[in-house]
Chain A
Amino acid sequence: MTNAKPLLKIRDLQIDGISDETRSRVINKVSLDLYPGEVLGLIGESGAGKSTLGLAGMGFTRDGCEIVGGSIEFDGIDLVNSTVEKRRQLLGSRIAYVAQSAAASFNPSHKIINQHTEAPVFHRKFSRIDAETDAINLYRRLRLPQPEMIGFRYPHQLSGGQLQRAMTAMAMSCRPDLIIFDEPTTALDVTTQIEVLSAIRDIVKQFSTAAIYITHDLAVVAQMADRIKVLLRGDEVEENTTRAMLKSPRESYTKSLWAVRSFERKQKPPAKTGAIPVISLKNVTAAYAMNDPVVRDVSFDIHAGRTVAVVGESGSGKSTAARCITGLLPPLTGSISFDGTALQPDYRQRSNEQLRQMQMIYQMADTALNPRKKIGEIIGRPVEFYLGLTGREKRRRVEELLAQIELEPTEFIDRYPAEISGGQKQRIGIARALAAEPKFIICDEVTSALDQLVAEGILRLLTDLQDKMQLSFMLITHDLSTVRAIADEVVVMKDGVVVESGPKNDMFKPPHHAYTDLLLSSVPNMDPDWLDNLLASRGVDNIGDAAIEKMNES
C-alpha cells in the first residue's frame, strides 16, 4: 500500500494561536506522512488542534493562527514558503476540504450545482457542461435523491445529510489527490450519519483519493481510516494502523480513550408491582402551534431510584416531553402526576414544594449558568430559596455540595463560570440541582456537548449520587452508549410517539421494533469491519434516511 514517496509530508510543525494579547501553542512539533490513496484518521478531544492541523495540510491558516516552525510539503511543493498564488493553484484542484457544517459552507444565494462546477471551471479541469454532467454522476454515486434535479436547488432546500454529501461531491469535483474531512458527521443524527459515512468511504475508495479524516468519535474513525493518529492539546500522542491501534494501544491516554466506551452499570431489578411511580405520564399530547402536535399520546413511568432513558433523534419529541413534565408546556390532553398526585399543567400554578422536588440539568453548560454570578451564589440560591438557610449555614451547605460533586470547595466557591472548564460547569449544574434536595432530576443531553473522557466522569458521578440518595433520573439522550452505560429502562421515541419501551437488557436484544433495530444498528462500534458487515447485512439502500422513508411508507 505504501508507495515510495509520501503525498503529504509534515515535519515538526509548530503553529501559534494569537488572541487579544496572548499567544498559545496550538500545534507543537507534529509530524505526519500521508501516502497516496491512504486514509489517515486524526482523533483527539476538542482543543487538540485537529482542525488546525488539517487546514495546515492545505497550506491554510485561519485568522489568528500563525505557522512559526516546521515544514509542510505536498507532492514536493513547500507550502510554508510558497507564494499566495502558488498555494491558490493547489487549493480546490489538488487538495479539497469538507467542512463540519455543510449548511453554513454553501453560499445561500447560489444553486448547489453552480457552486460545484465553480472550482473545476476556474482551475480549468473541466468545461462547464462536463462539470455539470460529472456532478450529476457524483450525486448518483452518493445516493442523493433525484440526482438530476437536486443540484439545481438552493442549499436551504436540502437536509443536513444531503448537504453533507453534496459537499463531498463538490470536494471531488476536481478529482483532488487529497481531501481533508473536518468532522463531517458530528452534527448529524446517528441514522443520517451512517449514510454519509458509507458514501464517503465508497467514493474515496473509488477514486483512490488520499484523505485525512478528523473526528473525535473513535468508533467512526475505526470505520474510515487505515491509520490513526492521536492528538492531545497540540501534541502527538501515538500513531499506528487501525487494527493494531484498536487491539493494543500503547500510550495511557489512548488507552483511557478506548476504555471510555466500556463503562456499563448493571440493570437494577424491576420495580415492585403496585409501587407508585415518582413520575407518571399518561396519554400526554402537546403542541407548540395549534394543529401540530409534537408529542402524541405518550405514556411512561419513572420509579424511585431508577434511571429511565428517553432515546430519540432530533425532532422525536423527547425534549418536549420534558418541558411538559416541568410545566413549561402545558399538554393539550393527558395527565402528569408526581408521587401519585396529579400536577397542575402550568408550572406557575404548582407549589414551591412541588417545584423543589423536580430539578433539571441542561445540555449546554455555557447557557445553563448565569455568567455574572459566582459559583457559590449559583449553588447557594436554591439553598436559600427552598431551605431558608442563610449566612454561615448556607455557606457550609454549599461547601458540602461542592464536595459531593468532587470539586474542591475553597477553590471554586468564588469563581465565575467563565473561568472553569465545560465538565466542571456541568458538575456545578448538577450541584445546583442537588441543592434543592429533589426526588427527581431531568438530565437533558447532559453529556452531549462534552468530550468522552469528561462525559464518562459525569456519568459515574450521576450513578454514585443516585445510589447514595435514591434519586430518580429521566435521561434524555440520542447516544446509545450512554443508555447502555447507566439506564435501567429505555423509552424509544420517534416523531412524538413512543415506539418501544422496556428494561434496558431487553432493548439491546432482538426482537424489537423496526426503528429501534435501525437505531441500534446505526451506532458504530469499534470493530473496523462493522460498516462492511452492516452494509452486507442490510443492503446499501436500506440504511439511514432511506430506511426511515421505507419504514414510513410501509
Chain B
Amino acid sequence: MTGTSGLIWLVFIIAMSLLLRPIGRRVPIAPFQHACTGMSLGGAFGYSIAIATIYLMCWLYFVKELIFFQWFVQGVIGLGIAGYLFRLAGQHFGTDGSRKMFRQMPVTAALGIIIIIGYAIMSIFADWLAPYGQAEIFAKVNVLPGGNPDLGGDPAHLLGTDQIGRDLLSRLIYGGQNTVGIAFITTCLAFLIGTFFGFLAAALGGWFDQALSRIVDMLMSIPQLIFALLLMTIASAWAGSEKWLLTIYMILIIAVLDATRVFRLSRAVGMNIVVMDFFEAAKLRGEKMPYLIFNEILPNAFAPLLAEFGLRFCFVFLTIASLSFLGVGIQPPLADWGTMVKDLAQFINFAVFSPLTAALPLMAASAIALLTVAVNFVVDWMLHRTSGLRE
C-alpha cells in the first residue's frame, strides 16, 4: 500500500512542477500570473513539494487523527500566534527605540523573547506556582496524569505522581528553577572567567597571550561532554555522600570548560578592537590597563558578547541536562528535567494505550528543548542585526 501510494505521489510532484508554470500563466489572477512568469524550474519544483506536504499534513491531522501530531500542530500554531501578538504589541507600545526594534524583528525572535520571559517567571516564582514541594511524598503512588479518576488520575495531581509518590507537576516546575537556575549561574561564572582572561590576553599580548592560548587549546582538545564526564567521575569520588557538593563541583567544572570557548571569542573580539586607531590613541595617551579594558574594549565588545552569552547558556543548559540524564548531573532530591526524562523514559512504550502518560517524559524533554530553541532564535536575530548594521 505505501509503495504504490508513494509512487503516485512522486509522479504527481513531477507532473505538477512541469505544469505549474504554463498553467499558472494562463490564470486570470494578476499576481499569480506574474509570479509564474518569473519562476524557475527549481522554484516550481519547490512549490509542488510544498503543496504535497501540506496535503499530507492535513490528511494526518484530520483523517488519521494522530494525537501526537495534533498536539504538535496545535503547539506550533499556538506559539506562532503568541509570538505574532507579542510582536504586534511591541510595535505599538513602548519607546521610539523599542518600537523600531519590534518592527524589524522576525516572528521567531518575538516568540523567543516571550518564551524566555515565561521561563524566567517560572524559575523565579517557582515556590508560588508549584502546588506542592519538590520532595514531598504522597501516599498515592503511580497516579496517571489527566486528573480523571476513571482513567487512574487524581484531580489533586494534574500530572500524576511518580513511583515514589512525588507530584509531577511540582517537580516539573521546580525542575525548571533548578536546571535553569544552575545553568544560568554556571554561564555567568564561565563568562566572567572567560572574558576577564580573554580581554587581558588581547590587551597584553606577548608571552602571556601565548601561554594562555596554549592552555586553552589543551583544554579544548577533548570534547566537552566527555571531559565533563571524566572530571565528574573524579568529583563524585571527592564529594562522597555530600550530594550538594557534587552539584557545586559540577558548576565549577562546566564553568571552567565553557570558559575556554568564551576566552577564544573574547580574545578574538578584543584583538579586533586592540588594533583600532582609537585604542592606540588611548595607549599613547598613557592610559592604564583597567581604563583600557573597561572604557575602550568592553563597550565595543558588548554586542557579540551578548550573543555569545545566549549561545553559551544553551550549551551549558544542554550539557547539564545531558549529564543529569546520564545520571551524573544534578542529584536527587533536587528535581531536574534531565533526571525526570531518565526516570520516566519507559512510559514512552505506552504511547498507543495512554498518550498522556507517554507524553510525560516528552514534556520534560520539550521543556528543555523549548528554552534552548527560544534562546537560539533570539541570538540568531541579534547576530543578524549586528552584522547588518556593520555593513
A residues bordering B, Cβ < 8 Å? Answer: 20-21, 326-328, 347, 352, 355, 360, 362, 364, 367-373, 381-382, 385-386, 432, 436
Contacts and interface: CB of A to CB of B under 8 A. Distances in A.
Interface in B247-305: 276-278, 280-287, 296, 299-300, 302
- Chain A CB within 10 Å, residue with most, of B103, B104, B281, B282: B281
B388 interface: yes
Interface of B: 103-104, 276-278, 280-287, 296, 299-300, 302, 388
A25 B385 CA distance: 24
A372 B281 contact: no
A367 B277 contact: yes
A368 B278 contact: yes
A369 to B, nearest CB: 6
Given A20-B388, A355-B286, A367-B276, A360 B300 contact: no
A436 B286 CA distance: 12
A371 B296 CA distance: 10
B278 A370 contact: yes
Given A20-B104, A367-B277, A368-B277, A328 B284 contact: yes
Contacts of A352: 286
A235 B114 CA distance: 48
- Please report whether the interface of chain B is mostly helix, strand, loop or mixed according to DSSP: helix
Given A362-B281, A436-B285, 18 more contacts: A21-B103, A21-B104, A326-B284, A328-B284, A347-B284, A355-B285, A360-B281, A367-B276, A367-B277, A367-B278, A368-B277, A368-B281, A370-B282, A373-B299, A385-B285, A385-B286, A386-B285, A432-B281
Contact of B284 (A21, A355, A371): A355
A328 B280 contact: yes
A422 to B, nearest CB: 14
Contacts of A355: 284-286
Contacts of B104: 20-21
Nearest to B100: A21
A506 to B, nearest CB: 33
B388 A372 contact: no
A298 to B, nearest CB: 21
Contacts of A20: 104, 388
Contacts of B103: 21
17 contacts: A20-B104, A328-B283, A328-B284, A347-B284, A355-B285, A355-B286, A364-B277, A367-B277, A367-B278, A368-B278, A368-B281, A370-B300, A372-B302, A373-B299, A381-B285, A385-B286, A385-B287
Nearest to A363: B277
Contacts of A347: 283-284
A355 B282 CA distance: 11
Contacts of B278: 367-370
Contacts of A368: 277-278, 281
A291 to B, nearest CB: 21
Contacts of B388: 20
B99 to A, nearest CB: 12
B280 A370 contact: no
B296 A370 contact: yes
A371 B303 CA distance: 13
Contacts of A432: 281
B285 A382 contact: yes
B244 to A, nearest CB: 42
A217 to B, nearest CB: 25
Nearest to B38: A84
Contacts of A367: 276-278
A386 B276 CA distance: 22
Contact of B299 (A364, A372, A382, A385): A372
